[in-house]
Amino acid sequence: MKFGDIVSFPIMHHEITLRPIII
């Protein structure tokens, strides 16, 4: 795995789990 994948995955996962809470 690339370092970018390790950093970008938690950010994408955080946005996916945070959006339903806001909406």
1-23 residue pLDDT tens: 576 666 666 666 666 666 666 55
* pTM assigned to the model: 0.23
Look up residue 23 and give its DSSP letter: -
Q: How far is CA 13 from CA 8, 19, in A?
A: 9, 10
pLDDT at position 8, please? 64
Q: How many CB atoms lie within 10 A of CB 22?
A: 5
DSSP3 helix / strand / coil % (the chain, rounded to 5): 85, 0, 15
Reading phi first (left if > 0) and then psi (alpha if -120 to 50, else beta), residue 19 is in: alpha
